[in-house]
Amino acid sequence: MKWFTAWRRRPWAGYAVVLAALAIIGVAYAGASSSADRAQASDTSASAQDVAKGKELFNQTCSSCHGPNAEGTKIAPSLIGVGAASVDFQVGTGRMPASNPGAQIPRKKPIFNKEQIQQIAAYVASLGGGPPVPSSDQVDPAHGDSALGGELFRANCAQCHNFAGSGGALTGGKYAPSLDKATPTQIYEAMITGPQAMPVFNDTTVTPAQKRAIIAYVTQTRDEPNPGGSGLGRIGPVAEGLVGWLVGIGFMVVAAMWLTARKPKKKQPND
Amino acid sequence: MTDNNDTSDATPEEEGRVPKRVIGTPAPSGTQELVPRKEPADTGGAYVLDERKARNAERVAAAFFGLSFVGGIAFIVFYAVWPGHVGNIDRATRSNYTLGISLTLVLLGIAVGLTIWVRHLVTTPEIVQERHAISSTPEDRATFNQYLQEGSRESGLGQRKLLRRTLLLATAPLGLLPLVLLRDLGPLPEKKLRHTTWKNGTRLVVDGTGLPLKASDFNSPGGIITVVPEGAEHNLDEIATGAVLLLNVPVDLLKVKKGRENWHVGGIIAYSKICTHVGCPAALYEQTTHHILCPCHQSTFDALDSAKVIFGPAARPLPQLPIGVDSEGYLIATSDFKEPVGPSFWERGRTKA
Q: What pLDDT is recorded for position A81?
A: 83
Partners of A261 on chain B (C-beta within 8 Å) are 1
Reported confidence tier of residue A31, pLDDT bands at 50, 70, 90: low
- Has residue A39 got a pLDDT over 50? no
* Contact between A199 and B208 using a beta-carbon 8 Å cutoff: no
The pLDDT, as a whole number, for residue A149 is: 92
CB count within 10 Å of CB B346 equals: 8
Contact B48 A206 (CB under 8 A): no
- Name the nearest CA neighbour of B298 among A159, A35, A262: A159
pLDDT at residue A166 in the model: 86
What is the predicted pLDDT for the residue at B90?
Answer: 77
Q: Write down the pLDDT at residue A164.
A: 86
Instruction: Look up the ipTM and state it.
Output: 0.71
- Taking the C-alpha atoms of residue B133 and residue B135, their distance in angstroms, rounded to an integer, is 6
User: If you write DSSP's letter for every residue of B93-130 in order, what string do you get?
Assistant: HHHHHHHHHHHHHHHHHHHHHHHHHHHHT---------
CATH architecture of A136-223: Orthogonal Bundle (1.10)
> Are residues A228 and B96 in contact, defined by beta-carbon separation less than 8 angstroms?
yes
The rounded distance, in Å, linking the Cα atoms of A4 and A7 is 5
Note the helical H segments in chain A.
2-8, 13-30, 48-61, 63-66, 83-92, 114-126, 146-156, 158-161, 184-193, 208-222, 237-243, 250-260
Task: Choose the weakest-confidence range: A190-204, A221-235, B40-54, B178-192.
Answer: B40-54
Q: Which residue numbers in chain B have pLDDT < 50?
A: 1-16, 30-33, 35, 39-43, 45, 352-353
Q: How far apart are CA B351 and CA B353, in angstroms?
A: 6
Reduce the DSSP state of residue A209 to 3 states and report it.
helix
Could you tell me which residue, A56 or A47, shows the higher pLDDT? A56
State in Å, rounded, how far the first CA of chain A is from the last one.
36
Cβ of B96 within 8 Å of Cβ of A229? The answer is yes
Residue A159 with chain B: CB contacts under 8 Å: 281, 283-284, 295
A264 close contact with B: CB closer than 8 A: yes
Q: Which of residues 134-193 of A touch B (CB under 8 A)?
A: 148, 151-152, 154-156, 159-160, 168, 170-172, 174, 176
* Confidence check: pLDDT of A20 > 50: yes
- For B215-263, the DSSP string reads TTTS--TTEEEEEEETT-TT-HHHHHHH-EEEEE--TTT--PPTT-TTS
Cα–Cα nearest to A193, from A89, A66, A75, A71: A89
Cα distance from A83 to chain B (closest Cα, Å)? Answer: 14
Residue B49 contacts residue A268 (beta carbons within 8 Å): no
Phi, psi of A243 (to 5 degrees): -65, -40
Please name the helix (run of DSSP H) or strand (run of DSSP E) that holds residue B63, with its range, or none: helix B51-81
Mean pLDDT lowest for which of A44-48, A94-98, A110-114, B220-224?
A44-48
Segment A17-26 mean pLDDT: 85
Lowest mean pLDDT among A107-121, A173-187, B186-200: B186-200
B324 neighbors B265 (Cβ within 8 angstroms)? yes
Averaged over A211-222, what is the pLDDT?
Answer: 92
* Start and end residues for every CATH 1.10.760.10 domain found in chain A: 48-126, 136-223
Instruction: Decide if B115 and A160 are in contact by the 8 Å CB cutoff.
Output: no
In terms of CA atoms, which chain A residue is nearest residue B212?
A205
Contact (CB, 8 A) for B332 and B203: yes
Starting from the edge strand earliest in sequence, which strands make up the sheet with B268-272, in order? Answer: B204-206, B223-229, B244-248, B268-272, B320-321
Cα dihedral sign for B296, B223, B304, B253?
negative
**Which residues make Cβ contacts (< 8 Å) with residue B130, sequence separation at least 6?**
none
Q: Which residues of B touch A10 (CB under 8 A)?
A: none
Q: Which of A86, A170, A196, A220 is the best mutation test for B, with the most CBs of B within 10 A?
A: A170
Q: What is the pLDDT of residues A122-159, one digit of tens each?
A: 888 888 878 888 888 888 888 889 999 999 998 899 88
Tell me if B334 sits within 8 A of B326, measured CB to CB.
Answer: no
Q: Answer yes or no: is pLDDT of A69 > 90.
A: no
Which pLDDT does position A51 carry in this prediction? 87
> Which DSSP letter does residue A247 get?
I
Any idea how long chain A is? 271
Report how far residue A168's alpha carbon sits from residue A266's, in angstroms, rounded to the nearest whole number: 56
pLDDT the model gives residue B202 = 92
A36 or A71: which leads in pLDDT: A71
Q: H or E stretch including B74?
A: helix B51-81
Residue B314's CB: how many other CB atoms inside 10 A? 24
Of the partner residues A227, A259, A265, the one whose CB lies closest to the CB of residue B89: A227
- pLDDT range class, residue A265, cuts 50, 70, 90: low
**pLDDT at residue number B14:** 45
Helices assigned H by DSSP within A111-183: 114-126, 146-156, 158-161
User: What CATH code is assigned to A48-126?
Assistant: 1.10.760.10
Cα separation, B144 vs A79, in Å, equals 95
- Nearest Cα of chain A lies from the Cα of B128 at a distance, in angstroms, of 18
